[in-house]
A and B are shown apart, each in its own frame.
Chain A
Amino acid sequence: MTIENEKVVNQNGKDNNNVSVQELEERFRVISPARMVAKRFFKSKLSIVGLVMIVFVFLFSFIGPLIIDATWGYGEIEVFRISRNAAMITTADFRAPDGKVYNYYDKSQTTILFKAPLSSDHWLGTDTSGFDIFTRLMYGGRISLMISFIVIFLETFIGVILGGLAGYFGKWVDQLVMRIVDIFACLPGLPILLVLSAAISSIESIPAEHRIYYLMAFITLMGWTGVARIVRGQILMLREQEYMLAAETTGIKAIKRIFKHLVPNAMPQLIVSATLGLGGVILYESTLSYLGLGVPFPRAAWGSMIALADPSKGQEILANYPNMWIPAGILIVVTVLGFSFIGDGLRDAFDPRMKR
């Protein structure tokens, strides 16, 4: 957003009985547009709630691992073998050949090393592989937030360039770019992402830890069209204005006219759509991780933590170990919700006439 020079609210001195400029400045506060946006943003309770949620998730996922690492010295893939005895009792009735009903009673003791319950050492216990769940939540958040920010940045970058060119040059450039946008917008998002990630996971020459980068590229590929549409629409509207005529007559180059004079004016819309988009990317990423096509094991991801509760793999965890999957789900909801609260707040703040 371009920040204009500070201006005095209420420029008309006459109505105020010829007060001097000094007195005027004392009486009226001088506010820059950026401050006005900030003020309107903080006026809404929901945006503050959203901000608190996001700050919490950020601290949790970026500062948390550092603290764990510094104090206890372990990370997301440290295996803890905590043995505990579990008694398994099975009973069954059966009718013996003599006609009486006998009660079959069997008690066996087994030692379980993994799936430790909540304790002061492991706040949320350990999971099926003996990893500390609380720590993995932090690392999972780190990966989700990183992916979402990088993807949104790339989407905005591609969208601004292509949308800017299409909007400014019009004619065949516009036709070409917008047809490409149409094609990409018609691609079914999740199925295609599944095809692509399945392809990447089956190529052996790609190391598992590089899979995330491909993943980011794919999610970007599916999502840049929205940004391009916004930028194009905005520029189509703006390029007819007088200041662009002035820019043209002063002989400024086309590239500079687009990216220095037109795109900054589309910034409010871009910021809002980017903030709202962050949550969407997190949902995509966690869905892929849930299906085992995202962040590869043994690295932590919120989606793959919830996948432990998948009833197709047995009901045990779904029924008896809510500590393994519910916290990850809550964190996803908190993050996505936080981003949408902030996005909505920003939209209202940038343009108070726009309805929520």
Chain B
Amino acid sequence: MWKYLLRRIALSLLILLGVSALIYLLVMLMPADYIDNQTSAALQNGSMTMEDVMRLKELYGLADKSFTGIAKSYIAWLKSTASGDLGFSFMYGRPVTDVLSDYIWISFIIAFLSYIFQIIIGIPMGVKAASNQYSGYDYTVSVFAMMGTALPSFFLSALLMNVFSIQLGIFPLQGLVTATRIFPSDAYIQVFLDKAWHLVLPITVLTTLNVGGTMKFTRTNMLEVLSSDYIRTARAKGLSEQVVTYKHAFRNTLIPLVTSLSGMLPGLFGGAMITETVFAIPGIGYMALRATRGGDIPFIMGYNMFLAILTVLGMLISDIMYMVVDPRVKLS
């Protein structure tokens, strides 16, 4: 097992190396880079010359766009990344790792809460739908679940904002804190409640979008378990349907569920770009979208690598969990 894990980790590192090279190449090929964006106005009114711009580009490491130049700067990036330094963000003027660690938490809180809701809503619905296959309940839940996955996040956000923020005025429209309110420095509870109030709609959006997946996954696996022989035996013994479903069948459905749900955990740190931007919540996704638009290469690189690492980590965790949950599985 340890041998398998070591091989998996080595392979993951190899994949990440490939991913980083690919992303670096793509990002460096972005023709209008940060300096061009910043200096175009100054160039036009003559307060800066082309030479100044080139000097700036040299300073930021964006001057040499030939293949060897990119390769060189990639190797430099790789070296500093290996030592834990992701470089300096152009736009935010701080080390990328600092920006990441500052803004990650609000994203994580939103994602984690919606993950919890996804579990406590999606799994019971999936179980109930599977045990009443082809019933009215099954159809209704399945259709609603699929509708959730078919909704674009920005459309659902706009709908909820229209109804709950504008028409009913219950929840604030955007932001994380009420800008017009001034809190005394010791009013932690009030600040906390204010923030929580701002997060209700974003969490609702993420939960609605994702609960369908969990529900369908539970339903599919539950159906599979319910058609196995030992369930027929349990029914033949005369056990009540309640016991059969929740004690015998559900326990085996937990194997794929735990595997896939634990694989999702690292992804919770990745941020929800669109939802955070629509609600103007300063999370990691919001910052990344701004950086992408501004051509902030170190930040884009850092963020995308971070996401790739989360993906690899997720796959690794779900593999390990598969082994932990199901003792029959021997990975080799």
What is A's interface to B at a CB cutoff of 8 Å?
Answer: 46, 179-180, 182-183, 185-188, 190-192, 194-196, 198-199, 202-203, 279, 283, 286-287, 290-291, 303, 306-307, 309-312, 315, 318-319, 322, 325-326, 328-329, 332-333, 336-337, 340-341, 355-356
Contacts and interface: CB of A to CB of B under 8 A. Distances in A.
28 contacts: A182-B11, A187-B23, A188-B270, A188-B307, A188-B308, A191-B307, A192-B26, A194-B273, A195-B304, A198-B30, A198-B292, A198-B293, A283-B150, A287-B153, A290-B154, A306-B154, A310-B158, A310-B278, A311-B278, A312-B174, A312-B280, A325-B155, A329-B151, A329-B152, A333-B147, A337-B150, A340-B149, A356-B219
Given A195-B292, A287-B274, A310-B278, A337 B147 contact: yes
B288 interface: yes
B27 interface: yes
A192 B23 contact: yes
Interface residues of B, number: 56
Contacts of A328: 155
A138 B193 CA distance: 45
B14 A179 contact: yes
B155 A318 contact: no
A287 B150 contact: no
Nearest to B306: A188
Contact of A187 (B22, B152, B289): B22
Contact of A329 (B155, B166, B273): B155
Contact of A311 (B143, B147, B150, B173): B173
A306 B152 contact: yes
Contacts of A291: 274, 289
Nearest to A187: B19
Contacts of A332: 150, 152, 155
B300 A318 contact: no
Contacts of A318: 158, 161-162, 166
B303 A195 contact: no
A183 B29 contact: no
Contact of B31 (A185, A202, A290): A202
Given A186-B312, A303-B152, A319-B166, A196 B26 contact: yes
B308 to A, nearest CB: 5
Contacts of B220: 355-356
Interface in B265-295: 270, 273-274, 277-278, 280, 288-289, 292-293, 295
B222 to A, nearest CB: 9
A311 B202 CA distance: 14
A5 to B, nearest CB: 32
Contacts of A190: 273-274
B16 interface: yes
Contacts of A290: 152, 154, 274
Nearest to B32: A202
Contacts of A180: 18
B150 A195 contact: no
A287 B308 contact: no
A287 B32 CA distance: 22
Interface in B24-53: 26-27, 29-32
A192 B31 contact: no
A183 B15 contact: yes
Contacts of B27: 195
B166 A192 contact: no
A355 B222 CA distance: 10
Given A199-B29, A306-B158, A319-B166, A279 B150 contact: yes
